[in-house]
């Protein structure tokens, strides 16, 4: 197995992209930290190394590092909080409040172990609070947008929603842009959301070696295009996501992408194609045990195609 010096990898990639040390580390760490990393004189925390690699378009999972006890605890708490955020939007009533309470306790524990100077950690906490709201109730859209934009600008202070391709982003920053677009869509500003998704998809196709978020962004983008009755455009974007899901083995969004294509095919007058795609999506949801989306898909398909859909 060939051994490589991480500092050399970062320096070579940075120079390939024409980036200065200041541009690479903006919002993540001080330029002197990057200089010392490239020269082998300092090893930052794993979260900072991962963020630098992601900003360079390199997947961090090919580089291995030992975790300190604090870093391990922080990693586990982040996973718990992310799980709570996902479940928060799937629950209702008392169930929603219980998930919120679990997330609040995990956030309190996380705050206790974080480095107060770590902007990446501050960004994660602010993003999580924006999405979880207060006492089991989501924040109004305006408040969510304010908090998400504040979180993004902790590490990307020059972020411009009109020209997002002018910067390079970490995966957390990409996730934040995706979430900002989602909030715009939920607030009824679908044109703004579509504009952000379009720029983000273009950025991901061009700059990211890993396609970690291409499936997610394609799904959200295609969904908003379909809701705007841009059916042919929605199919084109959904196909990008579908092919990426298959090529990369990321199947979480595959049935949803197929359902979007099925809906678009129906409205374009291709009933047979719509039925076939709905059936494919249905059996995938059934196979992975996603009962929530399974029921929604069945309802949508029968509303459009009638009661004789073959599932």
Please enumerate in sequence order all residues whose Cβ is within 8 A of that of 230, keeping only pairs 6 or more positions apart, or say none.
none
Q: Which residues contact residue 294 at a Cβ distance below 8 angstroms, ignoring those fewer than 6 apart?
A: 282, 285, 286
The 10s digit of each residue's pLDDT in 73-129 is 888 999 999 999 988 887 888 888 999 999 999 999 999 988 888 999 999 999 999
- Decide: residue 217, CB within 10 A, 0-12 exposed, 13-18 middle, 19+ buried: buried
How far apart are alpha carbons 44 and 68 in whole angstroms?
Answer: 12
Q: Confirm if 257 and 238 have CB atoms less than 8 A apart.
A: yes
| Residue 150: CB atoms within 10 Å | 14
pLDDT at 272 over 70: yes
- Residue 134 scores a pLDDT above 70: yes
DSSP 28-50: TS-HHHHHHHHTTS----HHHHH
Q: Give pLDDT tens digits for 8-33.
A: 889 999 999 999 999 999 999 999 99
| Cβ atoms of residues 186 and 179 within 8 Å | no
pTM, entire model: 0.85
Q: Mean pLDDT of all residues in the chain?
A: 91
- 146/130 Cα distance (integer angstroms): 9
Average pLDDT of the residues in 57-77? 73
């Amino acid at each position: 197995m060939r051994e490589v010096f991480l500092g050399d990898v970062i320096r070579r990639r940075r120079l390939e992209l024409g980036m200065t040390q200041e541009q690479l580390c903006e919002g993540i760490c001080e330029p002197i930290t990057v200089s010392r990393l490239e020269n082998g004189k300092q090893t930052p925390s794993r979260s900072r190394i991962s963020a630098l690699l992601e900003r360079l378009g390199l997947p961090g999972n090919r580089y291995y590092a030992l975790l300190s006890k604090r870093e391990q605890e922080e990693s586990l708490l982040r996973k718990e909080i992310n799980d709570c955020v996902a479940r928060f939007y799937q629950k209702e009533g008392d169930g929603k409040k219980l998930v919120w309470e679990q997330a609040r306790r995990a956030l309190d524990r996380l705050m206790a172990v974080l480095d107060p100077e770590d902007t990446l950690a501050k960004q994660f906490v602010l993003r999580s609070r924006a999405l979880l709201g207060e006492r089991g109730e989501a924040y109004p859209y305006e408040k969510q947008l304010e908090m998400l934009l504040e979180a993004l600008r902790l590490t990307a202070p020059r972020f411009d929603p009109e020209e997002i391709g002018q910067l390079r982003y970490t995966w957390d920053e990409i996730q934040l842009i995706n979430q900002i677009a989602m909030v715009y869509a939920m607030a009824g500003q679908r044109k703004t959301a579509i504009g952000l998704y379009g720029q983000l998809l273009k950025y991901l196709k061009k700059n990211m070696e890993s396609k970690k978020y291409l499936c997610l962004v394609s799904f959200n983008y295609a969904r908003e295009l379909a809701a705007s009755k841009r059916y042919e455009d929605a199919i084109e974007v959904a196909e990008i996501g579908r092919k990426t899901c298959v090529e990369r083995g990321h199947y979480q969004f595959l049935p949803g992408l197929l359902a979007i294509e099925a809906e678009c095919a129906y409205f374009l007058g291709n009933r047979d194609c719509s039925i076939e795609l709905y059936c494919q999506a249905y059996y995938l949801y059934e196979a992975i045990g996603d009962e929530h989306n399974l029921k929604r898909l069945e309802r949508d398909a029968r509303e459009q195609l009638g009661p004789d859909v073959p599932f």
